[in-house]
């Protein structure tokens, strides 16, 4: 019983590695800068954020990561005092 399960898991992992999943570029507000800028983001990629205007404060996480289900956590915003 263990051998068929092992074979199935090995085949699935091999197939999954061949499937490069992408994340759609998240909607972000105009005051945010997201780096790095790429045409395509894949699972594991990280976007780092900062505010365009230094007088604004970043509210929320300073980075997001691409997962099989999309970006997490939600993008931050930039707020003034």
Domain that holds residue 51: 21-79
Q: Give residues with Cβ within 8 angstroms of 33, minimum separation 6.
A: 49, 50, 51, 52
What pLDDT does residue 27 have? 86
Token digits of residue 68: 């099989």
Whichever domain contains 74, its CATH number is 2.10.70.10
Residue in this structure with the two tokens 């289900």, named with its chain if needed: 69
pLDDT in tens, 10-67: 445 544 554 568 998 888 899 999 999 998 999 999 999 999 998 999 999 999 999 9
Asked whether residue 2 is domain-assigned, the answer is no
What pLDDT does residue 7 have? 46
Query: Could you tell me which residue, 49 or 2, shows the higher pLDDT?
Result: 49
Asked whether residue 60 is domain-assigned, the answer is yes
pTM of the entire structure? 0.70
Token digits of residue 46: 């990280």
Listed in sequence order, the DSSP H helices in 1-81 are: 2-18
């Amino acid at each position: 019983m263990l051998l068929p399960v092992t074979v199935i898991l090995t085949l699935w992992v091999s197939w999954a590695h061949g499937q490069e999943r992408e994340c759609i570029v998240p909607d972000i507000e105009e005051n945010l800068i997201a780096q790095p800028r790429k045409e395509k983001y894949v699972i594991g990629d990280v976007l780092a954020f900062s505010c365009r205007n230094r007088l604004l404060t970043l509210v929320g996480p300073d980075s997001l990561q691409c997962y099989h289900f999309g970006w997490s956590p939600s993008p931050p915003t930039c707020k003034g005092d």
